[in-house]
Chain A
Amino acid sequence: MIKDESTLNVMIETVQKFVKERLIPFEEQCSENDEIPHEIIDEMRELGLFGLSIPEEYDGLGLTLEEEISVVLELCQASPIFRSVIGTNVGIGALGIVIDGTEEQKKKYLPKLAAGEIIGSFALTEPDAGSDAASLRTSAVKDGDHYVLNGTKRFITNAPEASVFTVFARTNPEIKGAGGISAFLVEKGTPGLSLGKNEKKMGQWGGHVCDVILDNCRVPASAIIGEKEGVGFKTAMRVLDKSRTHIAAVCVGAATRILDEALKYAVERKQFNKPIAEFQLIQAMLADSKSEIYAARSMVLETARKYDLKKNISTESSCSKLFASEMVCRVADRAVQILGGSGYIRDYAVERFYRDVRLFRLYEGTSQIQQLIIARNMIKEVS
């Protein structure tokens, strides 16, 4: 749902200009140094990118999902690490509070998250609970008006930069599955909370991931999102329904850029006395990528429109995330093929994107988990 098209168009134009002038020129440097310069993050903050999805009453922009995605499609034409900086505040690191937080929690955290003053992080995955998130072992034991948390969270995006973590822990050990899980807001600096070393990743250098360790970490009972025990997993799934659509849009944005790089190369690079773009086998790769990007883009926008109408998008968001994340990897693979040897060389953005986009098939639910969600929803509807 687009509330005001001309306002959205001005936003899109601004983000396009920012991407072209301020992000793309720094991509390589950020990747090589495994760090985004502070001044770039400050500029992103000033531009208002951290508050895309946070409601206006908490100082965010309050964009609808369709509007948010329209902006993300442009932002993600730069390296995905820039989106990753804002990604947790716009998505999983803030959505739990937006969806199920108490008024007090919203007032305390959302304005700061919207302004980018603090970074939010989402701590669900554990060493032994990845795809099977409902089996998580981190415990939260009630002790007076506090809870004591113990456990390790793995591969937590933006954890090194985060000031507030949405930590999922089991408050009721009697219930083995989802019903025993609660979501806690744990602030950086809380005694007992520490971080592991930064993981060395295949791609997305400049974006940081590490373990979050909870060792007798005491938090007040008021830190439970919504101050309700046992609904944390439901909160996580609702967060992921929305954020998977966002990730699908990230894939479409990246694929658009990758294809653009491949096309530019194909029309310039000459072999056998003509541009390689004139060869039909190259054209087939370009056309397949274009068609798949168009399909994924249509899926993402349609899912967002459905979300904005307050309809259940569990199936559609998984379909979009599954298709778009697989699609962007195919587009990146074809791009490397079109560039030939150059596609394997670091001087070309395509080599970096090829490694960067591989993550999208893994996080916020692997492709296989998306398949399970889609199929289970289908079966549920007929049984």
Chain B
Amino acid sequence: MKILVCIKQVPDMESRFKPAASGVWYDESDLAWRMNEYDEYAVEQAVQLREQLGEGCELTVLSIGPDRVGEAIKKALAMGCDRGVHVQDDAAATKDPWQIAAIIAAYAKDQGYDLIFTGMQSQDRGSAQVGVTVAEDLGYACATTLVGFAYDNGTVTAKRELEGGIKGVVKLTTPALVTCQLGLNVPRYPTLPNIMKAKKKEIQSIPVSELLKEEPLAATVSFHPPAKKGGGIVLEGEVGALVDQLMGILKEKTTVLR
């Protein structure tokens, strides 16, 4: 069985983001980089399946981006993936989800993967389009926002999170792609000895030009922090007067009271 897990490297979400000079993305200087949180769930689930299936199963991790992305790939290798694929692309951040999906699909189409794992979405762009588009490009069955996963003899049982805490279970026949959500599992720490051992695992490097033939379908036109909100209103005075003031504000500025 062949499994692919796709990961993205994103900035530490505790970073302070500044718009880049281009005005369409954030400035990447002075940021610490991490594996996208949802992709950690994807890697963990893929590794658990790899352990379940044992010998005869190969788990590949793929990421697209500049050299620094190698660190995210190494982390996934240390968590238990067998080999890595690094699609070298210094301009990955400027590509739209259609192009990113096209790159992955172009790589995966002749590889015969039975199952592909991705995160539900990335923490920075948050489009949630890449996984489903890859499935569509490859003609794979697809289930999104997984909070439960089981695999048996070519069938995936996927527990999905719907709105309002409702869960749904769907069954997919491989080949299939699933996107992973918070709550699916608790990702393991890559141990330090396994990080050292990961140095010996193969990472194949492929220039993006060999895989990408698609033009973008969507262009980002601006990137900006949210407008600063004004300070809150502090009401002062006697309780009776306070109630009158509050009623006035609620009637005037909100639809709570009419």
Q: Write the residues of chain A forming the contact surface with B, with a CB cutoff of 8 angstroms.
A: 4, 6-7, 9-11, 13-14, 17-18, 46-49, 51-52, 56, 61-62, 71
- Chain B's closest residue to A52 (CB) is B192
* Contact partners of B34 in chain A: CB under 8 A: 13
Contact-residue bracket for chain B: 10 to 19
CA distance A62 to B197 in the complex (A): 12
Distance of A154 from chain B, by nearest CB (Å): 33
Q: Is the CB of A13 within 8 A of B75?
A: yes
Q: Which of A18, A46, A62, A71 has the most CB atoms of chain B within a 10 A radius of its CB?
A: A46
Per DSSP, chain A at the interface is helix
B198 within 8 A of A: yes
- Chain A's closest residue to B75 (CB) is A10
Q: Is the CB of B189 within 8 A of A10?
A: no
* Contact partners of B3 in chain A: CB under 8 A: none
Distance of A110 from chain B, by nearest CB (Å): 14
* Contact partners of A17 in chain B: CB under 8 A: 189
Contact residues, B197-228 vs A (CB, 8 A):
198-199
Q: Is the CB of A9 within 8 A of B71?
A: yes
Check A51/B193 contact, CB under 8 A, given A7-B198, A10-B74. Answer: yes
Check A14/B189 contact, CB under 8 A, given A6-B71, A6-B74. Answer: yes
Check A6/B191 contact, CB under 8 A, given A13-B34, A13-B75. Answer: no
* Contact partners of A61 in chain B: CB under 8 A: 192-193, 196
B190 within 8 A of A: yes
* Contact partners of B195 in chain A: CB under 8 A: 7, 10-11, 14
* Contact partners of B194 in chain A: CB under 8 A: 48
CA distance A16 to B199 in the complex (A): 20
Q: Can you sample 8 A-B contacts with CB below 8 Å?
A: A7-B74, A7-B195, A10-B74, A10-B198, A11-B195, A47-B189, A51-B193, A61-B192
Distance of B37 from chain A, by nearest CB (Å): 11
Q: Is the CB of A18 within 8 A of B189?
A: yes
Distance of A12 from chain B, by nearest CB (Å): 10
Q: Is the CB of B189 within 8 A of A7?
A: no
CA distance A49 to B192 in the complex (A): 7
Digitize B168-200: 1 where CB-to-A-CB distance is under 8 Å, 0 elsewhere: 000000000000000000000111111110110
Distance of A76 from chain B, by nearest CB (Å): 16
* Contact partners of A56 in chain B: CB under 8 A: 196
CA distance A48 to B78 in the complex (A): 13
B70 within 8 A of A: yes
* Contact partners of A6 in chain B: CB under 8 A: 70-71, 74
* Contact partners of B189 in chain A: CB under 8 A: 14, 17-18, 47
Q: Is the CB of A46 within 8 A of B191?
A: yes
Distance of A46 from chain B, by nearest CB (Å): 6
* Contact partners of B190 in chain A: CB under 8 A: 10, 14
User: Given B75, B192, B199, which contacts A47 in the complex, CB threshold below 8 Å?
Assistant: B192
- Chain B's closest residue to A21 (CB) is B189
CA distance A7 to B193 in the complex (A): 11
Q: Is the CB of B192 within 8 A of A48?
A: yes
CA distance A51 to B190 in the complex (A): 15
User: Given B70, B192, B199, which contacts A14 in the complex, CB threshold below 8 Å?
Assistant: B192
Distance of B142 from chain A, by nearest CB (Å): 30
Q: Is the CB of A7 within 8 A of B191?
A: no
